[in-house]
Amino acid sequence: MLRKRAWAGLMVIGAALVIVGVARGETVVVLQKAIRICLECIGIG
């Protein structure tokens, strides 16, 4: 029972965080990073 509550709580917190992140405009940073080649990621820069 406790585990089920923990699971439900985590789902709610996770979904709330996603909504907060989108509202804060974090997705813009994610997109800006992801659509350009990340030189660090590939070991060039």
- What does each C-alpha distance from 36 to 5, 10, 16, 22 come to in angstroms? 41, 32, 28, 20
Q: Least Å distance between CB 30 and another protein?
A: 5
Length of the chain: 45
Residues 1-45 that bind another protein (CB under 8 A): 3, 6-7, 10-11, 13-22, 24-27, 29-45
Q: Least Å distance between CB 15 and another protein?
A: 6
Instruction: Assess contact for 21 and 27: CB atoms under 8 A.
Output: yes
Q: Could you list the residues that contact another protein (CB under 8 A)? A: 3, 6-7, 10-11, 13-22, 24-27, 29-45
